[in-house]
């Protein structure tokens, strides 16, 4: 697996590259956003690790530019731990968000989990019979339509642009509208790995989906338990 590491801190970058090498990943280290954009076509990475604090451009802007031309999964690796930072990164196209400092074991697990989801191990595994179906691969909930085959979501006829992880999460929650899904079960079934970090990444993905759907009521928080998908008129 080829991993493009976009990180300008030499000490952090060295640790990441060493850990990736130890996991038998082929990595390329880039220190600026401009060079990263050039490397996307030349190196053709299977996954991108992106630090937000770059010297020549804002990391979220680079995430958006990469996502505009490439479907390559992006994991943001940042020291910023505020929910708003996570949400913005996810809305710009990131598939996951990992807060520094972190262990290489967790990073490798995240890379493998994101890779499985974006290479076909996601939505097709978690869906069951929906409450309302217009076609075999399409779910309709009021104004919201989820096309499993095309991995597209439309709301009142307008496309909602979700990242692959956000799409998988929405598919999972909508598999049984009205049912409560526990946090641990969501992380296990959607991320498809043993979770080593906090559940803040899940919260950030939920917040990003709510914003994109335009109404937080689509996904209801159940305090102390998890989340419930609701059908809005």
Cα–Cα distance between 190 and 12 in angstroms, integer?
Answer: 29
**How does pLDDT run across 28-38, given as a tens digit for each residue?**
999 999 999 99
pLDDT of residue 220: 95
| CATH number where 91 lies | 3.40.50.2300
Task: Give the residue among 83, 185, 157, 73 at the shortest CA–CA distance from 121.
Answer: 73
pLDDT of residue 21: 93
Identify the domain containing residue 204 by its residue range. Answer: 123-229
Token pair listed for 216: 């937080």
CA distances from 201 to 55, 127, 141, 191, 207 (A): 26, 22, 26, 11, 10
Cα–Cα distance between 200 and 163 in angstroms, integer?
Answer: 17
- State the pTM of this model: 0.61
Q: State which of 120, 141, 176 marks the end of a domain.
A: 120
Q: State which of 61, 86, 120 marks the end of a domain.
A: 120
Examine the domain organization and report whether 154 and 177 are in the same domain. Answer: yes
Of the pLDDT bands very low, low, confident and very high (cuts 50, 70, 90), residue 194 is low
Q: Which of residues 3 and 118 earns the better pLDDT score? A: 3
Examine the domain organization and report whether 204 and 98 are in the same domain. Answer: no
**How does pLDDT run across 118-170, given as a tens digit for each residue?**
665 443 333 333 444 444 588 999 899 999 888 889 999 999 988 888 888 99
Handedness of CA 130, 132, 138, 144 (dihedral sign): negative
């Amino acid at each position: 697996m080829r991993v493009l590491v976009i990180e300008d801190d030499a000490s952090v970058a060295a640790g990441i590259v060493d850990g990736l090498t130890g996991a038998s990943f082929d990595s390329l280290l880039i220190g600026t956003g401009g060079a990263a954009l050039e490397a996307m076509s030349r190196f053709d990475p299977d996954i991108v690790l992106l630090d937000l604090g770059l010297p020549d451009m804002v990391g979220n802007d680079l995430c958006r530019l990469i996502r505009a031309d490439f479907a390559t999964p992006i994991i943001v690796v940042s020291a910023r731990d505020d929910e708003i930072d996570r949400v913005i990164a996810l809305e710009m196209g990131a598939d996951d968000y990992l807060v520094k400092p972190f262990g290489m074991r967790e990073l490798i697990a995240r890379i493998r989990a994101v890779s499985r989801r974006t290479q076909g191990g996601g939505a097709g595994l978690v869906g069951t019979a929906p409450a309302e179906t217009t076609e075999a691969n399409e779910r309709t909930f009021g104004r919201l339509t989820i096309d499993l085959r095309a991995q597209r979501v439309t709301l009142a006829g307008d496309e909602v642009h979700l990242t692959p992880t956000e799409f998988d999460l929405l598919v999972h929650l909508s598999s049984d509208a009205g049912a409560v899904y526990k946090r641990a079960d969501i992380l296990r079934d959607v991320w498809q790995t043993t979770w080593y970090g906090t559940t803040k990444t899940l919260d950030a993905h939920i917040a990003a989906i709510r914003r994109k759907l335009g109404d937080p009521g689509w996904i209801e928080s159940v305090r102390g338990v998890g989340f419930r998908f609701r059908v809005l008129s």
